[in-house]
Amino acid sequence: MRILGIDPGYATIGFGLVDAERGAFRLLQFGTITTPADEPFPKRLSIIYDDMNRLLDALAPDVLSVEELFFGHNVTTGIGVSHGRGVILLSAEQHALPIFEYTPMQVKLAVCGYGKATKRQVMDMTRRLLNMQEVAKPDDAADAIALALCHARSATSLLSRM
């Protein structure tokens, strides 16, 4: 199963493509979609949409694993991220991709076995699980890879078959 993990945003959107077969995981590709800060916000959403469509066509994933939003202190940023996330979900839906959403705690639990793991612990465990030489950069891409791994570990568990 080819799983595309997406860390949503509007300035930088991380992506990570992981192949999961019988409990073995292999990183196929990762990177980011970026939008210029000097562009009007609607134009940035259009860039995300176009780039997501190109990405989905090029990578041909079987499913999409995306982070559910968590609003912390900066609600204004959260609203912008939610707009970007909406465009990402629209693109996936138009490609008839099954969409799976995970909270940050679910990702931490699936990757590290501990729902309150630190970001650094998640990144290091992701690196170890995928036999990577170093942690993926930038952080948005590393988060997206962890989202793909989260779905890989959740979808292949025996509980998912019950």
Q: Does the active-site annotation cover 7?
A: yes
Q: Cα separation of 47 and 151, whole Å?
A: 26
Catalytic entry in 7, 50, 62, 124: 7
Among the listed residues 97, 99, 89, the one whose alpha carbon sits nearest the alpha carbon of residue 49: 89
Write out the H or E segment, with its range, that includes residue 65: strand 63-67
Q: Does the active-site annotation cover 19?
A: no
Q: Cα separation of 1 and 25, whole Å?
A: 10
Peptide bond into 42 cis (omega under 30): no
Catalytic entry in 57, 93, 101, 140: 140
Helix (H, G, I), strand (E, B) or coil at 113: coil
Q: In the numeric block, which tokens belong to residue 109?
A: 């639990």
Q: Cα separation of 81 and 75, whole Å?
A: 10
> Catalytic residue positions?
7, 67, 140
